[in-house]
Amino acid sequence: MIYTSEVGDNGDLIAHVVTMYLKPGDSIADVTYGKGVFWRKIDQTNYDVHLSDIITGPARYDFRNLPYKKETLNCVILDPPYCHNPGQMIVDKNYKNAETTGGMYHNDIIHLYVDGMREAFRVLKTGGYLLVKCKDEIESSYQRWSHIEIYNAAIDIGFFAEDLFILTQKSNPIVQHKQQQHARKNHSYLWVFKKPSEQEKRELKRLRLDGKFGKPLSPPPPK
């Protein structure tokens, strides 16, 4: 049984999601490969796998400008560094935040996601899936709800939110400041977005499921 919330690591989570949404032989592009954590529990021989990363990948591609042709992939996995202006973070040796997002602020990080999701929409087949890993954060003592901002951007691009998973880390989160002002975040999110067909678009519009969070809902029109 696969649940919405899981305690574990990215490898556990992605293995379950791939099992649910993809079938053997599907083409998958992990465009933020990093150190390959997502693939530790997946048999890559079951899929047509394309691995890339701007710094550490087997292929060095910028996820905002991929070499794949339009509508050729079944799945794109996007997990950019999501810490704004990271500086000398304790976990930076694993995620290379300082090398990729140093000097960026929260809105800059969201723009990275948006550009990556637009490029994913281009290369995905109709019915294909975009898996987006993200985490909310604090900037200048204010909550920044990244997973909601990313959802809204995905809807604007043309995706439909198929699923949302929550991954809770096994260890305690690292504390960067002595005085706590907000609940410490020990979880991240994985959105599963789908590139809908024209028929699905019409049905989503009929059911008023094509809008953003916070948009007032009205009853669907009669058939």
Confidence of residue 93 (pLDDT cuts 50, 70, 90): low
Distance, in Å, from the CA atom of 212 to the CA atom of 101, rounded to the nearest integer, reads 27
pLDDT digits (tens, 9 = 90+) for 63-73: 999 999 999 99
Q: The whole model's pTM is what?
A: 0.86
Residue range of the domain that includes 25:
5-172+181-206
Report if residue 221 sits inside a domain. Answer: no
Q: Please state, as a whole number, how many other Cβ atoms lie within 10 Å of the Cβ of residue 134.
A: 23
pLDDT tens readout for residues 159-193? 999 999 999 988 776 666 667 677 778 899 999 99
Convert the pLDDT of each residue in 110-132 to its tens digit.
Answer: 999 999 999 999 999 999 999 99
H/E run at residue 154: helix 146-157
Rounded CA-CA distance 223/155 in Å is 24
Nearest Cα residue to 129 out of 33, 2, 20, 3: 20
Kindly report the three-state secondary structure assignment for every residue of 27-56: EEEECCCCCCHHHCCCCHHHCEEEEECCCC
CB-CB contact of 116 with 64 (8 Å): yes
Question: For residue 219, is it within any domain?
Answer: no
- Bridge partners of 137, per DSSP, are 144
Name the amino acid, one letter, at 86: P
The answer to whether position 114 is within a domain reads yes
Note the pLDDT tens digit of each residue in 5-15.
Answer: 999 999 999 99
* 55/32 Cα distance (integer angstroms): 9
Please check whether residue 223 lies inside any domain of the structure.
no
User: What residues have CB less than 8 Å from 149, skipping those under 6 apart?
Assistant: 110
pLDDT above 70: residue 33? yes
37 in a domain, yes or no? yes
Which CATH number characterizes residue 97's domain? Answer: 3.40.50.150
- Inside any domain, residue 141: yes
Task: Tell me, yes or no, whether 214 lies in a domain.
Answer: no
- Dump the DSSP string for 87-144: -S-TTHHHH-HHHHHTT--HHHHHHHHHHHHHHHHHHEEEEEEEEEEE--EEETTEEE
The rounded Cα 22 to chain-centroid distance in angstroms is: 16
Domain presence at residue 217: no
Name, in order, each residue with C-beta under 8 angstroms of 140's C-beta and a sequence gap of 6 or more.
none
Number of domains in the chain: 1
